[in-house]
Structure 1
Amino acid sequence: MATNKHAMIRYQALDKCFGNPGRKYFLEDLMDACSKAIEDFTGSAVSVSKRQIFEDIKFMESAQGWSIELDKVKDGRRVFYRYLDRKYSINNRLLNEQEENQVKEALLTLSRFKGMPQFEWVEEMLLRLESSFHLKGSTDKIIEFEQNPYLRGLEYLSILFDAILYRQSLVIDYKGFKQVKKTSFHFHPYYLKAYNNRWFVFGCQEQSDHLTNLALDRILNVRSGKMKYKPNDVVNFDDYFEDTVGVTMATDAKPAQVLIEVARSYWPYIETKPIHGSQKVKRVKKDSVLIELYVHLNYEFKTLLFSFGENIKILQPEALAQELLEKAIKLIKHYR
């Protein structure tokens, strides 16, 4: 394998040539395509030799590369190159042997953190990568993680992450669910959070000191901003979300004490998957369990409670119980 810095650029250029059904690529054409690709990327003119092309093809055909199958077709005294399978591309194959070894090394490093405080995510990450890349040697699917493959906005995740990491302001085009037209504004991103298979970014708009959150699936475009980055000197996000289910919270909101009576038959589900970290058992009866929570009464929390249906009863606060009752009445009217 060629180890110089242009190797991957050449592989990608060759892959496009081999997969192009509308043109015959002879050796000289492959040399020109690779030279042009390098010049386009680096801005410097580079001449790729015949020997280099032959070495690249040899590597791409090897198990260490992508095990490509080339059709070397004679045309008079010359030969042109194309994939046997016209739909094949090295980008369609997950990993070659070298890349797989690199991933395994990374996984080995991550595995050292398993079981350590604040590294709970490592266990799931290891399983996700091993399953996705079949690193355990099995091609049969044996595990599936909750995800939404149709979710919009994920293409902005890495851009937002880098902006937070390198403290860069952004200009965001956004259209909320209730907005008729899009709005554009300068935004200073501070924090990314996933909830219920959706991603949200927290930060401040240029003319405001109030924290706001944007759903990534409502973002239309993101580009670099010219405004000086306004750092987050106020919010500690660990504390910010301590009393919250989900991502929304009014500026002046305060957590409230919530008393819930849970049907005994349903209690194992809520016991093993608590509604919130503050959940405590106050009383156990034959037919029910009384629990106490200390949490913000936001949209996500109310939606979660409503999803439990007849299995729970809100005892306190009375206003929350009344709100859920009104929702239930509206629901019943839909089916009458």
Structure 2
Amino acid sequence: MPYSKNQIIRYQTLDRCFRSRVNRYFIDDLVEACQVAIEEFSGNAEAIQKRQIYNDIAFMKSDNGYAAPIIKDKIGRSVYYYYEDPNFSINNQPLTEDEALELKETLLTLNRFKGLPQFEWIESMTTRLEASFQFGIDANQVIEFDQNEFLKGKEFINALYHAIINKTPLEIHYQSFKENERQIIELHPYYLKQFNNRWFVFGQNPKFKDITNLALDRIEDIAQLTIDFIETDINFKEYFEDFIGVTRFNELSPCKVVLRIERDLWPYIETKPLHGSQRVLNRTIEFIDVALQLIPNYELEAVILQHGERIEVLEPLDFRNKITGRLKKLIDKYNRAE
């Protein structure tokens, strides 16, 4: 029986919900849990219908599925679902060899999420496949993702994730690149984001009005605080729409940035847009002019400069002058070296 990645994530998410004896999961809760898990895996939101979850439950209960002992009880007119045996898990059920081979291929992709919250099941599933069918997930791996296995700070992802979910204020011991002394920061965490192979946590430091972001590779220690949690009404999906990366200047508003891109570079920029707002203004034999609607920041500068002479900033003038200034400093350094 072939599985898609989203099926596997839904089944594993439902399995976790049904085993819980702390929370009751009604159909809307199950839909939301599956949507969150898929979005965390893929980065894309998927609209899941209740009918899909009902079908998943029916399959999991069937002999063709996992023969899962799923029970439904009512509170008023609302129905919630759970396992009759809390020790049951679909990960403990026997697999056919065909199923295992399907899962092996999928796990090669999912393996990059191993160790992250909500994907703890990947490691146990991998071990189980290796033990049951004598094949190794990594033995002949033919796909590789851009990630740094030795990245400092990854060990804090799980603690930060649970602090966000449980709304727990934290005391963070932080060594900034810009400071000689280690800082102790009170942070009310809201969001984790990976950018350019580095992880960042976003939250409220009561000392500042604006959102604070901290790089996980500069965190030295984390402790929980027993104080009231500062809530936020920020939608972080929308928060990141106005800029590239993690640096947001709250005093600035999005503006129109016009770039001139050389023709030979354009296929790469067209297929991997610099920003979601990218649109073409003009095409010639030599170049393509595009407009972005965003807040200029260091990350945008870095993206432009990495392409050297093949991207020119046309407007706004102050941003063009900033790029020009950086290029002049670079040329001066090379001239001095001669």
TM-score normalised by structure 1 residue count: 0.62
In 1, are the aligned partners of 2:174 and 2:182 still within 8 Å (CA)? Answer: yes
2:164 matches 1:265: no
Aligned residue for 2:330? 331
Give SS of 1:249's match: coil
Superposition RMSD in Å: 3.1
Superposition map of 1:23-62 within 5 A: none
**AA in 1 matched with 2:215:** A
Give the distance between the partners of 1:105 and 1:245, measured in 2 at CA: 31
| Correspondence for 1:298 | 297
Separation in 2, partners of 1:261, 1:171 = 46
1:181 maps to a residue whose letter is: E
Aligned twin of 1:142: 142
Note the C-alpha offset of 1:320: 1.2
Give 1:261's aligned amino acid: R
Query: Which residue in 1 is equivalent to 2:307?
Result: 308
Secondary structure at the aligned position of 2:301 is classed as helix
Give the match's secondary structure for 1:327: helix
Unpaired runs of at least 5, structure 2: 12-33, 45-104, 115-125
| Cα distance in 1, alignment partners of residues 144 and 248 from structure 2 | 32
DSSP-derived class of the 1:260 partner: strand
Query: Quick one: percent identity of the two aligned structures?
Result: 35
SS of aligned partner of 1:159: helix
Q: 1:121 aligns with which of 24, 30, 42?
A: 42
2:86 pairs with 1:187: no
CA distance in structure 2 between the aligned counterparts of 1:225 and 1:125, rounded to whole angstroms: 40
- Where does the alignment leave 5 or more consecutive residues of structure 1 unmatched? 1-103
SS of the equivalent of 2:242 reads: coil
Equivalent runs, 1:143-222 vs 2, <5 Å: 143-222=143-222
Query: What secondary structure, in the 3-state scheme, does the structure 1 residue paired with 2:264 have?
Result: coil
Give the drift of 1:151.
1.6
Read off the aligned partner of 1:257 and give its amino acid letter.
Answer: K
Q: SS of the counterpart of 1:289?
A: strand
| Number of the residue aligned with 1:49 | none
Q: Distance in 2 between matches of 1:297 and 1:310?
A: 19
Shift of 1:300: 0.7
> 1:111, 1:126 within 8 Å by CA — same for their partners in 2?
no
Q: Give, in angstroms, the shift of residue 287 of structure 1.
A: 0.7
- DSSP-derived class of the 1:150 partner: coil
Letter in 2 for 1:334: K
1:322 Cα shift? 1.4
Q: Give the residue type in structure 1 aligned to 2:301.
A: K
**Distance in 1 between residues matched to 2:246 and 2:106, nearest whole Å:** 23
**Cα separation, partners in 2 of 1:208 and 1:310, compared to 1, 3 Å:** closer
Where 1:227 maps in the other structure, the secondary structure is: coil
Q: Would the alpha carbon gap of residues 154 and 119 (structure 1) be closer, same or farther in structure 2, given more than 3 Å must change? A: closer
CA deviation profile, 1:161-187 (whole Å, cap 9, x unmatched): 000001111111111110110111221
> Following TM superposition, by how much is the alpha carbon of 1:238 offset from its aligned partner in structure 2, in angstroms?
1.3
TM-score, scaled relative to structure 2: 0.62
**What amino acid is the match of 1:288?**
F
Corresponding residue SS for 1:191: strand
The equivalent residue for 1:283 is 282
Q: Which amino acid aligns with 2:109?
A: R
User: Which stretch of the first structure deviates more once superposed, 126-135 or 211-220?
Assistant: 126-135
- Whole-angstrom CA distance in 2 between matches of 1:291 and 1:310: 16
CA 1:118–1:156 in 2, change beyond 3 Å: closer, same or farther?
A: closer
